[in-house]
Amino acid sequence: MKFQVNGSEVFASTGGRPFDKNKPLIIFVHGSGLTHMTWVLQTRYFAFHGYSVLALDLPGHGLSSGESLKSIEEMADWVSDVIDSVGFKEASLVGHSQGCLVTIECAARNPNKIKSLSLMGGAGAIPMNPELLSLAENNDPKAVDLMMDWAHGPAGHFGGHPVPGLYHINTGGMLAKSRTIKNTLGVDFRACDNYKNGFEAAKKIKIPTLSILATGDKMCPVKEGKKLADLIDGSVVEIIDNCGHMMLLEEADRVLKVLKQFILKNYPSK
Amino acid sequence: MTDKKNKATDPKTYKFDTLSLHAGYQPHKNAGSRQVPIYQTTSYLFDDVDHAAALFNLERGGHIYSRISNPTVAVLEERVASLEGGTAALATSSGMSAIFLTVMTLCEAGDHLVVSSQLYGGTVNLFRLTLPKFGIKCTFVKPRDTEGFKKAIQKNTKGIFGELVGNPGNELMNMPEISKIAHDAGIPLIVDATYQTPYLCRPFEHGADIVVHSLTKWMAGHGSSMAGILVEGGNFDWMQNDKFPTMTTPYEGYHGLSFAEEFGPTAFTMKARAEGMRDFGPCLSPQNAWNVLQGIETLSVRMKKHCSNAEEMVKYLLGHESVAWVSHPSVPDHPDHELAKKLLPNGRGSMIAFGIKGGKDAGVAFINNVKLASHLANVGDTRTLVIHPASGTHSQMDEATLKFAGLSHDMIRLSVGIEDIDDIKNDFEVGFRAAKKPRLVSNQ
């Protein structure tokens, strides 16, 4: 659905069901340069099982208008504004990669508004490889190819998409190339590289938090994810083996199973 | 020279030959079986009713019923998508059903397509005679008439379709220019690249949006199994205009799903499967999918040999006294010679059309007397194949349609195999000798 946030049109997938203000809200925040479509194998479940779902396209990404936000802090405030704009007082947040930085910061800034936090392939900081950052900022499609290479685990490189007929690396690559690379991936990578408040933000989080990490994740390795999780009181860590950074697609069923258990327990729908 | 400084950041994603052997398959999820298992089953157990509902609602991936999807077939689909540089693919029971499903996913009654006139005879009949029964009309344009494609576009045109190298006359479509015409009109370009396989040409790199193949041909190579596939490039923006409401607005057949919003770069394939395969049902059998996979494992090795043999045969035919003309994009005076260099850098393919002196009678005698070359209605086999189109594949066409399709009565279509080149030439000598004296040589 499309709606307005701070005067700009925003697109969010509602998971194939009409948006319902009477159901608890879950917001999904995508990773660098990507779109709402990365969440298709998680959002539809929750939308069909008692939740209102918004899988956002960040400003300037996917089907949303405007320009990309330049810092993680701006993105965190924008997610908070999304909650207000759709008439809710609270939400559960789910983030992937850069989306983890955004949701951590948002949860730290809005302790009464965010009720649970689910992080996939997250870390307290995501410093960028300088060459990858330079390629993205210079609009070089090689940046996308590199990201797809590093983001998929050994098994994901062969394929084996859970949806019959889809090929991981090319689908992800096409998502990342759907808008001008320097305006999406380039801006996002710079925002990740600049963000230094992740560990401090984590210390302020007092809500139920889940970290899903993957053994083959080169971009946010398990030890970095655990370092972050250790700073959040009572946080739960689940590790998916034989999988890379794109766990939400590479091992969609296993990720959904863990996410379901966590959200149904900590943020139940009526 | 390669800059060594950049090598560490060169993507290490698998390349063509590796993908031909491995893409789409993970042994650790299949009992460690090194070879792709054949899932010879109609249907798949649900864990519980919630799981069943999740699969039907497209909440999660998986298999329900082998008409819609099958694990062995899915490996083939991913493998071809990876080789083409596409996002997704849907395998079908034949190349014709891949074309049919593509059209039915794209069009509704009242819609129109612009179609290259030089196509396989069965495809011509589909567009000329069968699709009008569904209310879908077509305008045919000669493949080299690039401007003609533009002029033929109407308000209700939903796509341009053509074979990259037309069957059987070897005329090339100027894919980069025609794709621009299509995209300026907000419609996709659909290319049948059966003759090329992704080893010779990856049409998405030249502007195509959807690629179809008869996998029966070079992709499989062994001539044992019928199969087809449609592959999606993932770059076409279905939401740029209001021409494709069934892609961009809530679809009643799937709980109000908008394919373009939900699946973006794989929307077309998802719709083709969820609607087209569900409702029409031309599914590929797992056994045939497995057979085709065996062929794809050696695709690049075979295509190199096909192309080198074809170039040898072109030289041989050009110098033969019994041959009136030779059409192959490698021939310097072929009208598309330069375009072929650009679009087919790895080889110009193994389809040759040539005219035999003596016309129809000589052609019939030639066909009836070659022994190694097989006379049959197929192309792209590892074995050398010949046919006389005017009396075979295109025999259902009247004289005017034959002429429009670029066919003549002296034309022989040759699909060069990978046998020893000397044996193919020796066999042709027998055919040519018979063609000189058609009435004196037995056809036994």
- Which of A64-78, B103-117, B403-417 comes out lowest in average pLDDT? B403-417
Residue from B103, B123, B416 nearest B276 by CA: B103
pLDDT at B444 over 70: no
Per CATH, the architecture of B301-436 is what? Alpha-Beta Complex (3.90)
- Beta-carbon separation of A164 and B60 below 8 A: no
Q: Which of A145, A167, A174 sits opposite B235 (nearest CB)?
A: A174
Categorize the per-residue pLDDT at B437 as very low, low, confident or very high, splitting at 50, 70 and 90: confident
Average pLDDT over residues A5-25: 95
Per residue in B267-290, pLDDT (tens digit) is 999 999 999 999 999 999 999 999
Residue A141 belongs to some domain of the structure: no
β-pairing, B210-214 with B228-232? Answer: antiparallel
DSSP at B6: H
Q: What is the DSSP string of B362-392?
A: HHHHHHHH-SSSEESS----SS-EEE-GGGT
Q: What is the DSSP string of B52-86?
A: HHHHHTTSS---SBTTT--HHHHHHHHHHHHHHT-
Instruction: Identify which has the larger pLDDT, B255 or B350.
Output: B350
Q: Which of A45, A175, A242 sits opposite B59 (nearest CB)?
A: A45
Q: What is the DSSP string of B257-325?
A: B-HHHHHGGGHHHHHIIIIIIHHH--PPPHHHHHHHHHHHTTHHHHHHHHHHHHHHHHHHHHT-TTEEE
Orientation of helix A40-47 relative to helix A252-266, angle to 10°: 40
Q: Identify the pLDDT of residue B253.
A: 78
pLDDT at B405 over 90: no
β-pairing, B385-387 with B374-375? Answer: parallel
Q: How far apart are CA A221 and CA A235, in angstroms?
A: 17
For residue A76, which amino acid is it? A
Chain B contacts of A62, Cβ < 8 Å?
264
Residue A261 belongs to some domain of the structure: yes
- Beta-carbon separation of B273 and A165 below 8 A: yes
Please name the residue that has the structure tokens 């924008």: A78
- Which of B172-176, B356-360, B367-371 comes out lowest in average pLDDT? B356-360
DSSP, collapsed to helix, strand or coil, labels residue A12 as strand
Determine which of A53, A63, A170 to mutate to test the interface with B (most B C-beta atoms within 10 Å). Answer: A170
- Beta-carbon separation of B13 and A148 below 8 A: yes
Q: Do B13-296 and B301-436 fold alike per CATH? A: no
Residue A46 CA neighbour count, 13 Å, CB half = 36
Q: How far apart are CA B206 and CA B211, in angstroms?
A: 11
Stated pTM of the model: 0.95
Q: How far apart are CA B121 and CA B270, in angstroms?
A: 29
Q: Biggest alpha carbon distance in chain B?
A: 75
DSSP, collapsed to helix, strand or coil, labels residue B406 as coil
Determine which of B87, B210, B240, B255 to mutate to test the interface with A (most A C-beta atoms within 10 Å). Answer: B87
Categorize the per-residue pLDDT at B8 as very low, low, confident or very high, splitting at 50, 70 and 90: low
**Min Cα separation B106/chain A (Å):** 18
Q: Identify the pLDDT of residue B389.
A: 82
Chain A contacts of B78, Cβ < 8 Å?
159-161, 165-167
Residue from A166, A192, A197, A168 nearest A33 by CA: A192
The CA radius of gyration of chain A, in Å to the nearest whole number, is 17
pLDDT at B2 over 70: no
Categorize the per-residue pLDDT at B175 as very low, low, confident or very high, splitting at 50, 70 and 90: very high
Q: CA B70, B74, B80, B81 torsion: positive or negative?
A: positive
pLDDT at A138 over 90: yes
- Name the token pair of B395: 């025999």
Q: Which of B25, B81, B87 sits opposite A160 (nearest CB)?
A: B25
Categorize the per-residue pLDDT at B442 as very low, low, confident or very high, splitting at 50, 70 and 90: very low
Q: Which residue of B has its CA nearest to A171?
A: B87
**Min Cα separation B34/chain A (Å):** 13
Report yes or no: B268 and B210 within 8 Å, Cβ to Cβ.
yes
Q: Which of A13, A158, A171 sits opposite B265 (nearest CB)?
A: A171
Number of separate domains in chain A: 1
Categorize the per-residue pLDDT at B390 as very low, low, confident or very high, splitting at 50, 70 and 90: confident
Residue A213 belongs to some domain of the structure: yes
Residue A190 belongs to some domain of the structure: no
Average pLDDT over residues B242-249: 94
Chain A contacts of B73, Cβ < 8 Å?
164
- Name the token pair of B143: 């493949």
Q: Which residue of A has its CA nearest to B63?
A: A164
Q: Which residue of B has its CA nearest to A177?
A: B235
> What's chain A's length in residues?
270
Domain with A247, as residue range(s), is 2-126+195-266
- Beta-carbon separation of A164 and B9 below 8 A: no
Residue A174 belongs to some domain of the structure: no
Chain B contacts of A54, Cβ < 8 Å?
none
- Beta-carbon separation of A178 and B265 below 8 A: yes
Chain B contacts of A17, Cβ < 8 Å?
255
Mean pLDDT, chain B, whole residue set: 93
Cis peptide before B168 (omega within 30 of 0): yes
- Beta-carbon separation of B78 and A35 below 8 A: no
Residue A219 belongs to some domain of the structure: yes
Chain A contacts of B24, Cβ < 8 Å?
158-160, 167
3-state secondary structure A211-252: EEEECCCCCCCHHHHHHHHCCCCCCEEEEECCCCCCHHHHCH
**Min Cα separation A254/chain B (Å):** 11
**Min Cα separation A132/chain B (Å):** 8
- Percent of chain B, pLDDT > 70? 95
Residue A188 belongs to some domain of the structure: no
**Min Cα separation A112/chain B (Å):** 31
Residue A217 belongs to some domain of the structure: yes
Report yes or no: A26 and A263 within 8 Å, Cβ to Cβ.
yes
pLDDT at A270 over 90: no
- Percent of chain B, pLDDT > 90? 84
**Min Cα separation A53/chain B (Å):** 13
DSSP, collapsed to helix, strand or coil, labels residue A114 as strand
pLDDT at B6 over 60: no
Residue from B114, B39, B27, B35 nearest B73 by CA: B39
**Min Cα separation A95/chain B (Å):** 18
Chain B contacts of A219, Cβ < 8 Å?
none
Q: Identify the pLDDT of residue B399.
A: 74
| ipTM for the whole predicted complex goes beyond 0.90 | yes
- Beta-carbon separation of B81 and A160 below 8 A: no
- Beta-carbon separation of B29 and A160 below 8 A: yes
Average pLDDT over residues B192-200: 97
Q: Which of B26, B73, B87 sits opposite A167 (nearest CB)?
A: B87
pLDDT at B440 over 70: no
Pick the CATH number of B13-296 from 3.40.50.2300, 3.40.50.300, 3.40.640.10, 3.40.50.1240: 3.40.640.10
Q: Identify the pLDDT of residue B398.
A: 73
- Beta-carbon separation of B85 and A157 below 8 A: no
pLDDT at B1 over 70: no
In Å, what is the CA distance from A159 to each residue of A164, A249, B24, B71, B292? 10, 11, 4, 13, 18
Q: Where are the domains of chain B?
A: 13-296, 301-436
Average pLDDT over residues B338-343: 96
The CA radius of gyration of chain B, in Å to the nearest whole number, is 23
Chain B contacts of A11, Cβ < 8 Å?
261
User: Within 10 Å of residue A130's Cβ, how many Cβ atoms?
Assistant: 10
- Which of A7-11, B9-13, B384-388 comes out lowest in average pLDDT? B9-13
Q: What is the dihedral of CA B147, B152, B158, B161, to 10 degrees?
A: -60
Q: What is the CATH number of the domain that holds A82?
A: 3.40.50.1820
Average pLDDT over residues B124-136: 96
Q: Identify the pLDDT of residue B400.
A: 78
- Beta-carbon separation of A166 and B87 below 8 A: yes
DSSP, collapsed to helix, strand or coil, labels residue A49 as coil
Per residue in A62-81, pLDDT (tens digit) is 999 999 999 999 999 999 99
CB pairs under 8 A between A and B: 153
Q: Which of B25, B60, B87 sits opposite A162 (nearest CB)?
A: B60
Determine which of A2, A158, A259 to mutate to test the interface with B (most B C-beta atoms within 10 Å). Answer: A158
- Beta-carbon separation of A45 and B89 below 8 A: no
Q: Annotate A75-91 with b (16+ C-beta within 10 A) or e (fewer).
A: bbbbbbebbeebebeeb
Determine which of B2, B59, B269 to mutate to test the interface with A (most A C-beta atoms within 10 Å). Answer: B59
DSSP, collapsed to helix, strand or coil, labels residue B221 as coil
Average pLDDT over residues A211-231: 97
**Min Cα separation B295/chain A (Å):** 18
Categorize the per-residue pLDDT at A130 as very low, low, confident or very high, splitting at 50, 70 and 90: very high
Determine which of A53, A174, A250, A256 to mutate to test the interface with B (most B C-beta atoms within 10 Å). Answer: A174
Residue A146: φ, ψ to 5°: -65, -45
Chain A contacts of B234, Cβ < 8 Å?
170-171, 174
Q: How far apart are CA A140 and CA A142, in angstroms?
A: 5
Q: Which residue of A has its CA nearest to B8?
A: A131
